[in-house]
Chain A
Amino acid sequence: MRFRRCLVRNKTCLVMVLLAVPLLLASMAFAAEPPKKVLIGISKIVSHPALDGVEKGIQDELAALRINAQYDLQNANGDANTAASIANKFQSEKVTLAVGIATPTAQSLVNTLKTTPVVFSAVTDPVKAGLVRSLKKGGRNVTGVSDMTPVKQQIELLLRIKKIKRLGHIYTSSEENAVVLAGIVKQACKELGIEYVETTVSKSSEVKQAVQAIIRRVDALYISTDNTVVSAMSAVADVAMKSRVPIMSADPTSAAGHPVLAAWGFDYYKMGRVTGRMIAEILKGKKPEQMPTRFMTSTSDIDLLVNLDVARKLGLTIPKDIVKNANKVVQNGKLTSK
C-alpha cells in the first residue's frame, strides 16, 4: 500500500509538471515574439446581434481604410469574470490597441492595459462607468464611442404623433447601459410633463409579463437600446398591439420586423464603422487624450423608421414631415429604405 501511495504521489508530480511545461513554453513563446504588424484585440461581453454588428463594422472600416490589421476576437460569454482573463491575454500578446465592446469588458481592459490605447464602444455612459473623467476629452490612453440615444427627441417625436399623458418603460436591471438610460428617460418625462411608469426585468423570459403588468396604466411604451428587452421585442409588440398601445423604440434594427410605431436610433454596425475610424486615427499617431467621446448624432449616423401600417391600425396619423425625414418606411407590409 505504501508503495502504491508513493506511485500516486509521483503521478501527481508528473501531472503537475506536464501542466506546467506547456504553460512555461507558451509564456516564453509569447515573450519572445515581437509584434510584427498591427494586432487589435476586441473583447465583447456576449455574442449578440448588436454587439456582433459593432465588431464587424470595426473590421470592415479598417479594411476600407487599407489598414493591415490582425484581430484577436474574444468574447466573455456574458461572464464578467472572464473579462479579466481576456484583458490579461491581450496584455501578454502585446496588442497594439484593444477594443472593449460594452461596459464590463471595457472596464477590464482599462484596468489591466495601462500603456496600451483602449477604445470602448457601445458604452452608454462612459463617465459613470469610470472609463473617462469627462465626455469632452479622452482619458489617459482611453477614448471611444457612446451608444447614448437622443432620448428626449425620441419622446418628443412620439408626442407629435400621439398626445400621451403616461409613458411606460421596461428595462433590464442587470444591464448597466439600460439602467443609465432609464434614469435619462425618467428625467426627460419630467421635463416634458409626462407621467413615467417603469418596470424592470432580469431576463428575457420575464419581458412579456412585465409588459402585461403595466400596459393598462400607459398610453405608449418606450423601448431603449436594452439588449435583453430588445431580444424579446416580439413579446412586447404582441401585448402592446392587443392593447392598442404604440411603441417608440430606440433600436431601428430590431423594430423593422415587429409592429413598432416608430424607431429612432442608429445601426450598431454603423457604430462599429465609427469606432473603426477612431482606431485608425489612433494608429496614425493621434493621442486618445485629445479625442472626446463620440456620439452617434450626425444625420448620416441616424436611422428613423416609421410604420404606417401600425399607425393605421391604431388610428393615428404620422405628420407628413416625419414620414419625409424617415429613411425607413413600412407600408402595406413592405419595408422601403431611402
Chain B
Amino acid sequence: MIEGIFVEGLIYGIMVLGVFITFRVLDFPDLTVDGSFPLGAALMAQCILMGMNLWLALLIAFAGGVAAGVVTSLIHNHLKVPNLLAGILTMTMLYSVNIRILGNRANVPLLNQETILTKVSGLLADIVPEEYVLLVFFLGVTLVIKVLLDLFFRTDLGLTIGAMGNNEQMVISQGVNPKTLKSIGLGLSNGLVAVSGAFAAQYLGFADVGLGQGIIISGLASVMIGEFLILKSNRISVLTLCAILGSICFYAVMYLGRYYGYLVKMTPNDLNLIKGLLIILLLVATQSKKLKKAAFRSVVKHD
C-alpha cells in the first residue's frame, strides 16, 4: 500500500508540477489539463501499439501536450478570450482529438504490451525488490524532471516568465512580449501533464478518454497542500519539491479515505466531496496563516 501511494503520488506529481507552473508561476488558471492528460495517454498508447521506440513515444506525448498548451495560449492572446475560457475551449476540443488518436475508440488496452515500465521492471529486477521497482524508477524520473525545471527557471527566460507572473507590466516595460512568454509557459506546463498522462496509461494498463476527468482538481489540491506544508519560500527548488510532496500527500489522503472511510460511514462516492472540502479547508488555512503573518509584521513595524 505505502509504495502504491508513493508511486501514484510521483506519477501524478509530474502533472502537479505542470499545474504549479500555470497556477503559481504564470498566474494563469489553465484548465487545458483535463484534455492534455488523456492526450498524453492516448499518444503514448498508440505509439506503443505501433511498436515505436518507447522514449520517442514519450517525446511525442510531450510534444502533443506542448501543442495543446500553445493552442490555449494562442486563443487567449490573439482572440482576447479570458484565460479560464481559453483552457475550457481547448479541453473540449481535445476530447474529439483524443478519440481520433485512439482510433475512434474510447479505450485502448496496454495489457501484455512492452511498455517503459515493463522494460524498467526487467532491468531493475535483480537490484531492487519487486514491489519497489516502480517506486525507485518514478522517484528518479520525477526528481530528474524537477531538477530540469529548477534549472530552467534559473535561466534568463525562466526568470522572465516568473517575473511576468508577478507583474506583467514590469515585463512589458523591459521590452519583452508577454504573449510569447505565456505560450512557452503553457506549452511547458501541458507538456509535463501529457508526460504524466503517458506514464499513467502504462501504470494503469490502458488509455481511456475519461482519464482527464477531474485531474485539474487533484492537481490544484496537491499544489495547495504543498504550499500549506511550507509557508513562504521564494526558492523555486523548494517550491517544486513542495508540489511533488503535496501530490504524494493528496493521494495519501485519498487512499486513507478509501481505507478507513467505512469507519465513519463514508462510501467511495463521498470522495469527491472530500476533495472539494479539502481544497476549501486549505484555502481557509492559508488565508488565516497570511492574516497572522500580516498581524505579526505590523507589530514589528510599530516596534
Contact = CB atoms under 8 A, between A and B. Distances in A.
- A and B part of one assembly: yes
Nearest to B106: A176
A172 B271 CA distance: 26
A84 B107 CA distance: 15
B164 interface: no
A103 B107 contact: yes
A7 B8 CA distance: 31
Interface stretch (A15-23, A288-296, A310-318): A15-23
Contacts of B249: 19
Contacts of A107: 107, 109, 111, 204-206
A318 to B, nearest CB: 35
A120 B132 CA distance: 28
Contacts of A325: none
Contacts of B107: 103-104, 107, 129, 176
A129 B107 CA distance: 8
Nearest to B217: A79
Contact of A27 (B2, B104, B109, B208): B2
Contact of B269 (A23, A77, A81, A89): A77
B111 A131 contact: yes
B205 A110 contact: yes
A130 B230 contact: no
A157 to B, nearest CB: 28
Contacts of A112: 205
Contacts of A110: 111, 205
A153 interface: no
Interface residues of A, number: 49
B50 interface: no
A293 to B, nearest CB: 15
Contact of B268 (A8, A23, A27, A74): A74
A308 B238 CA distance: 71
B54 to A, nearest CB: 17
Contact of A79 (B8, B95, B214, B245): B214
A103 to B, nearest CB: 6
B179 interface: no
Given A129-B107, A176-B105, A84 B1 contact: no
A77 B268 contact: yes
A133 B255 CA distance: 33
B133 to A, nearest CB: 13
A223 B215 CA distance: 31
A179 B1 contact: no
A37 B1 CA distance: 21
B111 A81 contact: no
Nearest to A92: B1
A263 interface: no
B255 A89 contact: yes
A256 B44 CA distance: 43
B5 interface: yes
Interface of B: 1-2, 4-5, 8, 12, 95, 99, 104-107, 109-112, 200, 203-206, 208-211, 213-215, 218, 229-232, 245, 249, 251-252, 254-256, 258-260, 267-269, 271-272
15 contacts: A26-B2, A30-B1, A75-B268, A79-B214, A84-B8, A85-B254, A88-B4, A103-B206, A104-B107, A107-B205, A108-B206, A130-B111, A174-B209, A176-B106, A178-B106
Closest 8 CB pairs of A and B: A130-B109, A111-B205, A88-B4, A92-B1, A176-B107, A130-B111, A27-B2, A176-B106
